[in-house]
Amino acid sequence: MSNNAFSGGASEALAAIFSLSGPVLTENEISLFREANPFGFILFARNCKDPAQLKALVRSLKETVGRDCPVLIDQEGGRVQRLRPPHWRSYSPMKYYGDLYGDDPEKALEEIRFETFRMAEELAEAGLNVTCAPVLDLLFDGAHDIIGDRSFSGDPDVAARLGLSVCRNLLRAGVTPVIKHIPGHGRARADSHLALPRVEAPRDHLNALDFEPFRQVAMSEVGAQVWAMSAHILYPELDEGLPATLSSKIIGEVIRSDIGFDGILVGDDLDMKALDAYGDVSERALISLKAGCDLALYCAGEMANMVKLAESLPKVSPETLKRLQNAEKSGKVAA
């Protein structure tokens, strides 16, 4: 399905996704990115002013590292879309499709296919080849609204069916999806941007509900091509001491084994306050990579932190390279 061949040159790349300060690259950013060679980049609204500017920026990022590297963006629809009117379309939140699915499943699938292709068209036009969507977290009563209508549904089968449709159709359009926030953010009663949430649910409840949408996508024919983003959440039933992003136990036993996800795993943004107790950004990044994340994601665009990351992080691991190669093989078969 997807034509993204990210493994080329990846063995020499830093195991990181970097960010930038504004709509054009500064001289310092160009110098750092050329020297550090991060695996990819992520863009935010501060980087996206209009289609011509965005296309030029994405091209310049790829030129700095000398390859068609991943360039990520959060384009979910609803509250979370970095590309907005008047230059780009507005999209419905995912809960709209979940609600519609309850009344008319075929209509919901037809609409979400159409909207996914429209979104992918805008991304591909800009040269953006990875989008941090869809959200597979479930909707739970009493949870913090940081997820809210970003979720398809409280029903894991509905979330899985609609999420899988989004993944398939993004891949068909040449855009790699990033399912989030594995193994499940939906029950959290705090915003991980601001604090470390605790999810106290028993493991069997998590397994039956929260893990299920991720499992269904991971076990599908596109599972090897999809990326996932981990949750900065403490699950005492899974690991008493470390949040998922930093936990080798959760990544190994739950994400890789119970859920069966074997694609590229990216930790959520290292600069979020949920991780404040675990050292500075570079220390958090190293812990996450040692725990089993493939890539460390840094979103704030601050030069000093990216310099630290460049100095301390390893290159992409052989395991990550194998996952990238498996994704490419799977894509050729699916096409």
191 a catalytic residue:
no
Q: Which of 210, 239, 262, 268 is catalytic?
A: 268
Taking the C-alpha atoms of residue 111 and residue 87, their distance in angstroms, rounded to an integer, is 22
Q: Token pair 């306050």 is at which residue? A: 273
Helices (H), ranges, 179-280: 203-205, 212-218, 248-249
> Quick check: 151 and 137 in contact, CB under 8 A?
yes
193 a catalytic residue:
yes
Q: Token pair 């994704």 is at which residue? A: 327
Taking the C-alpha atoms of residue 307 and residue 286, their distance in angstroms, rounded to an integer, is 14
Q: Which of 50, 104, 157, 193 is catalytic?
A: 193
Taking the C-alpha atoms of residue 330 and residue 335, their distance in angstroms, rounded to an integer, is 9
Instruction: Give the chain's largest Cα–Cα span.
Output: 54
Please, which residues bridge with residue 17 across strands?
40, 297
Angstrom distances, CA of residue 274 to CA of 104, 284, 335: 39, 11, 40
Angstrom distances, CA of residue 253 to CA of 222, 248, 258, 262: 22, 8, 6, 12
Tokens standing for residue 228: 């996932």
Active site residues: 193, 268
